[in-house]
Amino acid sequence: MTVKPTILQELPADLEREKLPRHVAVIMDGNGRWAQRQGQPRIMGHRRGADVLKELLRCCQDWGIQALTVYSFSTENWRRPMEEVNFLMTLFERFLRQQLRELVAEDVRIRFVGDLAALPLSLQAELERAMEATRQNKGIRFTMAQNYGGRQDILQAVRTIATQVQHGQIQPEDIDEAVFERHLYTAGVCDPDLLIRTSGEMRISNFLLWQVAYAEIYVTETLWPDFDRSEFHQALRAFQQRDRRFGMVKN
Ligand code: IPE
Ligand code: IPE
Ligand code: MG
């Protein structure tokens, strides 16, 4: 099933361009429930979810969002039934193969963050191909968190820095936030300003733990396969109404 193109191609008039989040992160949740509500197997929700992701990426491009990061597979998702995990891995591979030409043409810079070495080899090859083919692109920075865990991200950064200390390349007192961030998987992209979670769950589920320190959190009851442009519009409207204080006092 393909998602119908919607009419909101231009930035909706009630959104202020200068107050858009630079970086949007999304926990795409609720695929299984969506499918089950239609009496279909869970995997049908994942299939539809991939179409919705394409549409959101396009919407971010149309509306001038600079970076989009999505949680597509967590380090904990291996605990699911093997058939579902296998289906997801194949879906990611197919998604990339089918989308790559368009991603290149649309100037998207794609990147994958997470423990990629643990993924099936054929998928790893596809991820490499996609990153390589879009490396020079200058458009939206699109990151997929694939076999990603926030704790694991922090630990791998700690290990790298500890090794550098051991070799005398850096002194412990020189480790500050900027140094630390350079070793996270997400290095080079600003922290998310807005974190969206679909399907109503009020938790982070080990997503970008360090990076969401000051993200505005928006949770919608809408299940991921139903998250369309008008839902994204609502999330952006809510974001623009927030008072981001960063610990300061504002009147
Ligand atoms: C999110 O949807 C997709 C992944 C975690 C890969 P779920 O599969 O978690 O759907 P629900 O939460 O069970 O409905
Ligand atoms: C979070 O969703 C992971 C992804 C969306 C990839 P889950 O469905 O795995 O999270 P929990 O289990 O409800 O916390
Ligand atoms: Mg879920």
In a domain, 170, yes or no: yes
Q: At residue 17, what are phi and psi to the nearest 5 degrees?
A: -60, -40
In a domain, 178, yes or no: yes
* Residue 47 identity: R
| 29 part of the active site | yes
In a domain, 163, yes or no: yes
> How many folded domains does the chain comprise?
1
Range of the domain at 93: 18-61+74-136+154-194+208-238
Q: Atom of ligand 1 at shortest distance to CA of 33? A: 14
Q: Whose CA is nearest to atom 3 of ligand 2?
A: 74
Q: What is the pLDDT of residue 3?
A: 57
In a domain, 227, yes or no: yes
Q: What is the pLDDT of residue 29?
A: 98
Q: Whose CA is nearest to atom 11 of ligand 2?
A: 205
In a domain, 124, yes or no: yes
In a domain, 108, yes or no: yes
Q: Are strands 23-27 and 216-219 parallel, antiparallel or unpaired?
A: unpaired
pTM value > 0.85 = yes
In a domain, 218, yes or no: yes
Cβ pair 182, 210 in contact under 8 A: no
Q: Atom of ligand 2 at shortest distance to CA of 29? A: 5
Crossing angle (nearest 10°) for helices 42-63 and 229-241: 60
DSSP H/E element including 129: helix 121-134
Q: What is the pLDDT of residue 250?
A: 78
Nearest to 208 by CA among 67, 18, 78: 67
Cβ pair 89, 119 in contact under 8 A: yes
Q: What is the CATH number of the domain that holds 118?
A: 3.40.1180.10
Which ranges of the chain have pLDDT less than 70?
1-8, 251
Q: Whose CA is nearest to atom 13 of ligand 1?
A: 32
